[in-house]
């Protein structure tokens, strides 16, 4: 059934419902929603989202909320209570991918696979105000996203707005070797190529294996996000944050490329008969020198020679 048929069906049910159909189309044309959809497509094209793997959230600006408000549903969904309050997210609005959706499908039907939720005045409940057509709901990792959004909003003075989760093969493979060791992981990534320390001088967090969507995973991620803009979930994937879509996706891309290089150079070293690491791997002093050159606040206690 096409849009015209959908609209006619809604018109038959009343003007209020028809307004909802029109709003769905209008919201898709806003810049932030186009960027949201593009990021989902870029991640899928990169091969980071098998099946329904991965999810994305974005905290709208006040201007975006004001511009979008007239297109929200006249009757939002019922409030869904959370087991704790996110006080600094009170009254905020978030665009999120839908539970069970394929990231490659988001561009085909944004109003089905993306939705906007509103947090209540205490930050302890949410409701759907746009999208999630035909009974959809936010990602099963909603709690982890809210924990991350809350922490990163606080530690960046409100700058961070995007939380992006993907399942890059090389990152997951590397996590199986390194485990939940943020220091070791950060060193390996920093030394993979010279650009890494420029993108994450604070390092990258690493968490043990938790049940996806669990409160345990959300709590552990919250703690890690106090110190890191990106966190690896061992045997699961990578979570990156940023002020905007390009920043968060760029951070994810750099970490994935570094992991690709580590995996490739490790295999090549063995094939060429080297027993240890590749002979020209960067040193700790190389990492420090780059940080000094660019006046970066390097997490010095993580650097290993």
Catalytic residue list: 141
3-state secondary structure 231-275: EEECCCEEEEEECCHHHHHHHHHHHHHHHHHHHHHHHHHHHCCCC
Q: How far apart are CA 79 and CA 86, in angstroms?
A: 15
Helix (H, G, I), strand (E, B) or coil at 228: coil
CB 259 within 8 A of CB 204: no
Give the residue among 190, 194, 155, 189 at the shortest CA–CA distance from 171: 189
Q: How far apart are CA 248 and CA 71, in angstroms?
A: 27
CA-derived radius of gyration, the chain: 21
Find the helix or strand (DSSP H, E) in which 127 lies.
Answer: strand 125-131
CA geometry: angle 191, 196, 198, nearest 5 deg: 125
Give the residue among 189, 299, 294 at the shortest CA–CA distance from 252: 189
Say how many C-beta atoms besides its own lie within 10 A of residue 285's C-beta. Answer: 10
CB 84 within 8 A of CB 114: no
Residue with tokens 């069970």: 100
CB 126 within 8 A of CB 77: no
Bridge-based pairing state of the strands 237-242 and 114-119: unpaired
């Amino acid at each position: 059934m096409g849009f015209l048929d959908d609209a006619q069906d809604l018109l038959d049910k009343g003007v209020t419902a028809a307004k909802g159909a029109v709003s769905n189309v209008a919201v898709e044309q806003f810049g932030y929603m186009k960027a949201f959809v593009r990021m989902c497509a870029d991640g899928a094209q990169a091969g980071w989202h098998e099946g329904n793997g991965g999810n994305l959230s974005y905290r709208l600006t006040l201007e975006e909320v004001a511009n979008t408000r007239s297109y929200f549903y006249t009757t939002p969904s019922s409030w869904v209570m959370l087991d704790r309050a996110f006080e600094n997210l009170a009254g905020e609005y978030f665009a999120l991918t839908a539970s069970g959706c394929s990231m490659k499908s988001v561009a085909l039907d944004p109003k089905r696979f993306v939705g906007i939720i509103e947090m209540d005045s205490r930050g302890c409940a949410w409701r759907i105000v746009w999208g999630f057509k035909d009974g959809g709901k936010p990602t099963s990792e909603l709690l982890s996203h809210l924990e991350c959004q809350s922490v990163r909003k606080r530690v960046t003075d409100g700058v961070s707005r995007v939380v992006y989760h993907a399942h890059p093969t090389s990152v997951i493979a590397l996590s199986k070797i390194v485990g939940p060791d943020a220091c070791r992981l950060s060193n390996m990534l920093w030394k993979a190529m010279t650009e890494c320390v420029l993108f994450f001088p604070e390092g990258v967090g690493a968490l043990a294996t938790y049940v996806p969507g669990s409160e345990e995973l959300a709590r552990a991620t919250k703690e890690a996000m106090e110190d890191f803009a990106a966190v690896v979930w061992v045997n699961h994937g990578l979570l990156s944050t940023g002020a905007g879509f390009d920043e968060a996706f760029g951070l994810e891309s750099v970490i994935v490329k570094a992991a690709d290089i580590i995996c490739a150079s490790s295999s090549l070293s063995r094939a060429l008969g080297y027993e240890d690491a590749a002979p020209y791997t960067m040193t700790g002093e190389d990492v420090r020198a780059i940080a000094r050159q660019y006046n970066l606040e390097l997490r010095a206690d993580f650097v290993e020679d």
